[in-house]
Structure 1
């Protein structure tokens, strides 16, 4: 592991100032992904600023939203009673996202910032990785593509964003609140992540030194049903091949409101706007759900190793919608 300086700071403004002033400094919270990447030699910060003592932990219930401190653990959020009642698909995504041990360590802010699960990005002996070394190429395009993306990709990168909870978060229009040297700002999660384009190494809109302080999760109207379905190679502790986070507000047999997020298929947590448009105002039926799935996967770009994901993602979404609507599969 690359030698580094360790600093523990208990004031958010000071932590931001220290990291902003040092281009080789990084924040450290739960560290469940970051430390692994450091051990592998993928990340080599000269200074780690431990923020675990900042007052950024806790859950506050409002009339229309839930405010979650960035240092709140996945397990703490999953145990929240209001989320269990009003946003069950958030809780399901959290519980399916990691083992109990990891959920007690991993923070909500850190989960949203987790790095790509691309085997080539995580292996520094592989030279061709535009995410790790801009301009070097993308080994995944000609390599093993089983766990890669089909939506939001480019010729420069097909790495997958693997967060489970980010899928219902984007469907809910969650907002990330951040603090930087120039003050605070709020960023809708649908605008927080950046597709790879020609700059795969730039994954989100955060400036260096900006710190996530809180995630604001809107509450859906009373009566809205939701579900998170995750399809994976094995049941225990595995990343999604495909997943769907859906929420429906029904008026009899008609869909009044729909929220759809997809995981396991996008270079960013994927909001399926086209599927939502198909669903709103439509009758609850297998035909409607299949049409929504077709719209959700429109524009998918495939390679031989991931062509199967198109149909699998469609079936995953249809099954999730059937579950929420109570339609027999």
Structure 2
């Protein structure tokens, strides 16, 4: 690990000023991604600004939403009574996302900013990684790519966004609140992460030094049903091969409102807008659900190692929707 300077910020303004002024300075919160990548030699900031004691935690409730402080932990959010009652698929995603030990440390802001789990990105001995070394190529495209994306990819990167909780948050139209030198701004989560395109090293819309302060999460309407399903190689806290988070409002056998997002398949948390269009005002049943799944995976781009994900993702979404609607498989 490269030697670094450690500084503890006294307030948000000081933290933003210190990091913004120096491209070699980064924030430190829970550290569950940052520290690992520093140990592996993937990241090497010259200075870390500790923000863990800033007043950016807590969960507050309004009539139609909750506001989650960026430093609130995964465990705190999963245990919140309003989340348990009104956002059950958010709670399911949190509980399936990490062990209890990690959930007590990892922050919500950090979860949204977690770096790619691509084996090539995380191995500094691999030269060809456009995310780590822009312009060097993408070893995953020609290598073993089982845990990689099939939606939102480019010729320059197929790295997967691995967050579980970002999937239902994207489906809910959550909003990320940010503080920078120019003041606060708000970004819809569906616009926060950037697909790789020609610049895989740019993963989100944050400017250097901008700090996530909170995430605003709309509540599901009364009567809505939701579920998060995660398919993985082993039960014990593995990353998703495929996952789906969905919420439905049903009336007289028809789906009046639908929200759908996918995980384990996208370079960003993947909002399945086309699937929602298929579901809306359609009868709740297997035929409708399969049509929605087909729409969600339209345009998937696969390699030999990821081709299996297309059908698996479709079945994951169908099962999720069947569970929500109480339809027999």
Q: TM-score, normalised by structure 2?
A: 1.00
Q: Which runs of 5+ in 1 are unaligned?
A: none
**1:102-251 alignment, distance < 5 Å:** 102-251=102-251
State the secondary structure of the residue aligned to 1:110.
Answer: helix
In 2, distance between residues paired with 1:104 and 1:10? 23
1:305 partner SS: coil
* Partner in structure 1 of residue 71 of structure 2: 71
User: How much is the aligned-residue C-alpha RMSD, in angstroms?
Assistant: 0.4
- Unaligned runs of at least 5 residues, structure 2: none
| Correspondence list, 1:63-102, <5 A | 63-102=63-102
Q: What do the CA deviations read for 1:77-122 (whole angstroms, capped 9, x no partner)?
A: 0000011011100000000000000000000000000000000000
Per the TM alignment, residue 10 of structure 1 is displaced from its structure 2 partner at its CA by 2.5
Provide Cα deviations, 1:110-153, integer angstroms capped at 9, x if missing partner: 00000000000000000000000000000000111010000000
* Consecutive aligned runs of 4 or more in structure 1 exceeding 4 Å deviation: none
Q: Deviations over 1:287-317 (max 9, x none)?
A: 0000000000001000000000000000000
SS at match of 2:322: helix
Paired with 1:54 and 1:10, the residues of 2 have a C-alpha distance of 7
Give me the whole-angstrom Cα distance separating, in 1, the residues matched to 2:145 and 2:221. Answer: 39
Looking at structure 1, the residues matched to 252 and 129 of structure 2 have their Cα atoms a distance apart, in angstroms, of 51
Give the distance between the partners of 1:205 and 1:15, measured in 2 at CA: 19
Match of 1:266 in 2: 266
Distance 2:298 2:206 in 1: 29
State the SS of the aligned residue for 2:305. helix
Equivalent residue number for residue 282 of structure 1: 282
Distance in 1, Cα, partners of 2:237 & 2:293: 26
SS at structure 2 position matched to 1:14: helix
TM-score w.r.t. structure 1 length? 1.00
